[in-house]
Amino acid sequence: MKTKGILIFVFLIQLVFAQSGRYAASFLELGVGARTMGMGSAGVAATGQVTAPFWNPAGLAMVERLQAGSMYANLFNKLEQQSYFGFVLPVMKNSVVGISWMRLSIDEIPRYDFDEDSPITAYQRLHGQAQQLTYGPVDYFSNQNDVFIFTFARLIPTKFDLGWQYFEIPVKFGFGLNLKYISQQLDRNKATGIGIDIGWLMSLNLNDIFAGEYYGALNFGLNVQDLAETRMVWDTESRHVDRLKRNFKYGVQYSQPLAFLDSDLILAYDVNTKYDGNTHLGAELLIKSLFALRVGSNFGHLTAGAGVLLWRFRVNYAFQGHDLGNSHRVSLTLVF
């Protein structure tokens, strides 16, 4: 008698079985957008980018023009493929809506037949305790992970009266909401869930506070992901449920104009509560609003990147170090 088994990299097997715990739908943590990823994935306090729903939905509140963005990447030595497309549109005064889609997939995973009467078990083969198979796979299957996100963001500009005569500080507040549909398919089984993220962002122009010209801007951001701890229900006989743990992401970003270089220096730092506090640190030097150089640290792994503005197109590149293999990403944004 024969039963079907799966032969695949050990780390993938471990990841699949870990889905019921802290790593459920972990593909969402990859992020999108080469600009932010080149800065160590520190994007919670960033504003005005089409990729904001993945970092902090409140960042969309400060988008002033229609934007469309896309990205494609082969990850972990071409084992996985990541695709992304996003679209944002200002609709009413100080209101913005966005639609985003991201997929992480593994194709052509081989399936083998194992003989239950054989002295060598499937477990031994998967863990390198037996010789390699000398025959080909029976067929192939795939693993696909998708998320569709609808975002609404609202900008509320206001002024703080500090009690000084004729002196008020203008402050911009952004609020954002993500409604996301998550789908994971492994072979013939599928899990789906609906989640909610909420975000808040505050932006201060320090020139208004210190009555100067070269103090730049300071942003603070907060993103609460999977507010209700999203349930992913599998279509198996047991109706197994995975839960996406609530995650708080905090971020700060400072932008300092460098008048002598006709440039801007941006520093960003993020921390989140998931996995005992991941940290992200990044810097960008924007030269004449045309070229950008970036460097960062994504939970201890080196990142770097560059960007160029060509008419209405923003082309960005990011390198990210990783234990499973370094990755390269190129993203394109069109601003109408």
From first to last of its 336 residues, what are the pLDDT tens digits of the chain? 343 344 344 344 444 444 455 667 889 988 899 999 999 999 999 999 999 999 999 999 999 999 999 999 988 777 889 999 999 999 988 999 999 999 999 888 887 776 666 666 666 666 666 656 666 778 888 899 999 999 999 999 998 876 665 578 899 999 999 999 999 998 889 999 999 999 999 999 988 777 777 889 999 999 999 999 999 999 999 999 999 999 999 999 999 999 888 899 999 999 999 877 789 999 999 998 899 999 999 988 999 999 999 889 999 999 998 877 789 999 999 999
How far apart are alpha carbons 266 and 283 in whole angstroms? 6
pTM of the model: 0.86
Residues 6+ apart with CB under 8 A from 188: 141
Q: Are 280 and 30 in contact (CB under 8 A)?
A: no
Q: Is the dihedral of CA 270, 41, 287, 60 positive or negative?
A: negative
Beta carbons of 244 and 227 less than 8 angstroms apart: no
- 47-92 pLDDT tens trace: 999 999 999 999 999 999 999 999 999 887 778 899 999 999 999 8
Domains and CATH numbers, the chain: 2-335 (2.40.160.40)
